Structure 1
């Protein structure tokens, strides 16, 4: 379905299974186009023997509209976080700061009186599609939903929809991102700008997690994680003679200014800098394979598939002169392999 007017153009978005930002956009656009969706379903319902459209129309009641407005209002706050988690270049410390900020913002929605504005938006949307303000039928005994005591429809939907959904989102923040904060605390222990907030104890979880990896590295000369205390102390003392205005504030900046005299610290900084924030980067390779390995290339070998995937994923490198010359030489070699009806070389 498409809708256009002189200043904008919208299309209903597909509800993606893997792209989080697409889910936010799909819901926000659906809410914006709901009157036109109703109009389309009404026309389809008039067709002969089409009961799906009529059943969908019956489900769009005032409770559905309130739920849609609440979901849209909250996802508007979480959308920037989803964009950052799917970004190509971002570190875990930056994401942890953003997660805390969004968590506090969503928490403030519960504490402040925000629902009134959301409810008025739902009433306005209901008037556009001829759905009046109402509450579900209440009974003395309910088996499929709770009876929320209320004196007004606004109070009912606050207790039945708004607060439960906010509590669910907040609980998901705690469940999904608790490990981010623990890892970010370990990162902060090595960044000079956070020395006043951290100590060696904050490094303990990371040292325990990477204990075998660090000890087995013969280049580090580390027999036990407790031996790192001395280097950690020297690393923090090294920055005491530097002006605070020159202290690095990110993992990458700290890694670039870390000399080989602190091998364990440099190794930890490298590990922190390369930790994936999410699985979005790995999932991009799956999307790339859909374009590369089609049914016409089902017999493609592994080496060629890996090469084409790298070229497709890192296509920005194709602007490099060295890469361009290399590609040209490959085309020349391929064109001279055997006689062809048309010349490849121009």
Structure 2
């Protein structure tokens, strides 16, 4: 545990320690512990390695004991294994300490060179001073020297209620209580720290308050955590909290990494700024799990100081190296917002390049800003809209029911999420009359002349035919892209189904139907600006031509160009080959030659010999699939992969299943990365804007991957917590 306490080198255990005196040992440990944190509250020279020379733990100040225990646990039991243990006469026979006992009782047994006696580290650190049992204080103060009575070691450990076990039990209860509180706060994404965590503070933070609540409703925890031994070891410090969170995140990541194993995967990368403006890069892994399910998991959040392609590449390689993942196993890469890595394409924004559409979105933003500029205006809009809904319900124009007619307000569109533009347009259409009323009030009663003038301009635009045309045009276009976006955001979406959805969209037919009514209704004279009127007059074109050709056709063509430009000839050929794996209609799309061509896209995995083997394997595969009733009603290659694993046919047709796996891990969209950034803004919010990078990463992994975090056992967390270094004491 690097941040729990700085590592202290072990006391030398070679033969040179045979004649080491107590003063030499004190000097050695004094030099070692001087490298400990300067924040320590006790005199480091008092930390004695030899258990026979230590003073009682209770003789230290109660405020220092936590640091002392952490230091001793970090250093581990004193076990000079290579010491030349002296012999002595015991009942007429020679006997001496057996170093093999360190292996049997290694988690607690210590040996004192100065006293030639055995001691117990657990009892020294945690045993309450409540009398004698199994030798009383012999394993703490005087030391055990009856080497011919090894059974006394087992007697010292004793039954479950022995002093030795009770000391460890108390420590375990405290650690479990802290871990339960940590689990709850991580799953909810809640902050840990309070403004002041002292006992007399009224704002001690969620962790301390939750721990006290847990203790007040559990007598065992109450006796141990908030009872008379609370001051000895509370396990509630910020360092402890961060260590437990780090352990939880590590165990969660290890489950994900073990699930991938040595298999192939794809990486999805995006970058975004957090609340204080630090650039964060999120990395998500897409792979096929052992049951054949398409899975996307967050690998980590990395702070990048530069967003150049070399910087992002270095950060990505370091993150993969941290978890033992090799770039040679990557078979797909998706970079959404990381434009430096992606190349020429960067978001579906091409329609906004049209001048009239850019003006439309700009004025839409101004409408939201003016109407929602103050709490008073927003309250007026809500009340006005609620009154109109109530009137419509009374007139029977709309139906009431669960989930219907919820309170709505104007939404501000984001720059990167085009789904927000669609929601903003829908809300404006739904609240059109309310917005007009609000602008009229601003124009008549506004206290600032500039705002009154702006409201007048916006009202004129809202009444214009050009606004109505652009509004309904973009509603239909963005409605199509929004439906497609929602489909692609499914974690289990495969590339074949995604392409089917894209091909099923007929932009011209889908948009032209609702819009051509508006085009046919274009009057000879519509509200246009003076510059627009002069341009139409100079070019001698009609209003109908302008709205049909210069706006509608151009915008639709831009959207089509954007979609088509994302698929090169090689990509199109790859997708055609992938489609041959589709099991719909009894594998009607199956084509052996295309699947062999697909295998040639992966020369590292399919050698010439493998290609020949794949040819014969495909013959047997398609006969088996079409003759088996279990595979007759599958929908999509995702279902096919799961069924092959379920029926063990993935081992019968390994080359076919490998092809299937490559098609599944091809990234369709980086929706999981976007979800990670949404969670990041929740965890690292305005009040928690000073979170460190490691703390943020650990919190993100456990919060986003809750289903994996839930299967992490308490024992695994506690064991890793204690073994964050090689010399951590066992429970």
The two structures have a TM-score, normalised by structure 1, of: 0.71
Shift of 1:80: 1.8
Select which of 612, 615, 624 maps to 1:238.
624
**CA deviation map 1:143-181 (0-9, x unaligned):** xxxx4733xx44542233222222222223322366876
1:39 aligns with 2:430: no
- For 1:186, the equivalent position in structure 2 comes to 577
- Looking at structure 1, the residues matched to 666 and 548 of structure 2 have their Cα atoms a distance apart, in angstroms, of 40
- For 1:137, the equivalent position in structure 2 comes to 533
Gaps of 5+ in 2: 1-377, 394-404, 723-731
Equivalent residues of 1:21, 1:83 under 8 A apart: no
1:17 aligns with 2:407: no
Q: CA RMSD in A?
A: 3.8
1:210 aligns with 2:610: no
Equivalent residues of 2:496, 2:582 under 8 A apart: no
- For 1:260, the equivalent position in structure 2 comes to 651
**CA deviation map 1:87-126 (0-9, x unaligned):** 3332222222111122x2x23246x654343458999xxx
- Looking at structure 2, the residues matched to 96 and 285 of structure 1 have their Cα atoms a distance apart, in angstroms, of 25
Size of the aligned set, in residue pairs, is 305
Equivalent residues of 1:193, 1:244 under 8 A apart: no
1:200 aligns with 2:600: no
- Looking at structure 2, the residues matched to 148 and 28 of structure 1 have their Cα atoms a distance apart, in angstroms, of 35
1:74 aligns with 2:477: yes
Q: Please state which structure has a larger fraction of its residues in strand.
A: 2
- For 1:107, the equivalent position in structure 2 comes to 508
Select which of 714, 723, 729 maps to 1:326.
714
Q: Evaluate the alpha carbon distance shift between residue 158 and residue 276 of structure 1 in structure 2; reply closer, same or farther with a 3 A threshold.
A: same
Select which of 277, 283, 292 maps to 2:668.
277
Equivalent residues of 2:684, 2:691 under 8 A apart: no
Q: Evaluate the alpha carbon distance shift between residue 183 and residue 154 of structure 1 in structure 2; reply closer, same or farther with a 3 A threshold.
A: same
- Looking at structure 2, the residues matched to 72 and 101 of structure 1 have their Cα atoms a distance apart, in angstroms, of 19
Q: Evaluate the alpha carbon distance shift between residue 254 and residue 172 of structure 1 in structure 2; reply closer, same or farther with a 3 A threshold.
A: same
Select which of 520, 536, 551 maps to 1:161.
551
Any idea what SS the aligned residue of 2:533 has?
A: coil
Shift of 1:84: 0.9
- For 2:679, the equivalent position in structure 1 comes to 288
1:64 aligns with 2:467: yes
Q: Evaluate the alpha carbon distance shift between residue 297 and residue 138 of structure 1 in structure 2; reply closer, same or farther with a 3 A threshold.
A: closer
Q: Please state which structure has a larger fraction of its residues in helix.
A: 1
- For 2:494, the equivalent position in structure 1 comes to 91
Equivalent residues of 2:492, 2:638 under 8 A apart: no
Shift of 1:12: 0.9
- Looking at structure 1, the residues matched to 697 and 597 of structure 2 have their Cα atoms a distance apart, in angstroms, of 36
Any idea what SS the aligned residue of 1:88 has?
A: coil
Equivalent residues of 1:96, 1:180 under 8 A apart: no
- For 1:49, the equivalent position in structure 2 comes to 449
Q: Evaluate the alpha carbon distance shift between residue 117 and residue 165 of structure 1 in structure 2; reply closer, same or farther with a 3 A threshold.
A: same
- Looking at structure 1, the residues matched to 614 and 578 of structure 2 have their Cα atoms a distance apart, in angstroms, of 15
Equivalent residues of 1:69, 1:121 under 8 A apart: no
Q: Evaluate the alpha carbon distance shift between residue 196 and residue 89 of structure 1 in structure 2; reply closer, same or farther with a 3 A threshold.
A: closer
- Structure with greater contact order relative to length (CA < 8 Å, sep ≥ 6): 2
- For 1:341, the equivalent position in structure 2 comes to none
- Looking at structure 2, the residues matched to 245 and 259 of structure 1 have their Cα atoms a distance apart, in angstroms, of 13
Gaps of 5+ in 1: 124-131, 216-220, 335-346
- For 2:426, the equivalent position in structure 1 comes to 28
- Looking at structure 2, the residues matched to 236 and 148 of structure 1 have their Cα atoms a distance apart, in angstroms, of 64
Any idea what SS the aligned residue of 1:211 has?
A: coil
- Looking at structure 1, the residues matched to 691 and 708 of structure 2 have their Cα atoms a distance apart, in angstroms, of 27
The two structures have a TM-score, normalised by structure 2, of: 0.37
Shift of 1:15: 0.7
Any idea what SS the aligned residue of 2:493 has?
A: coil
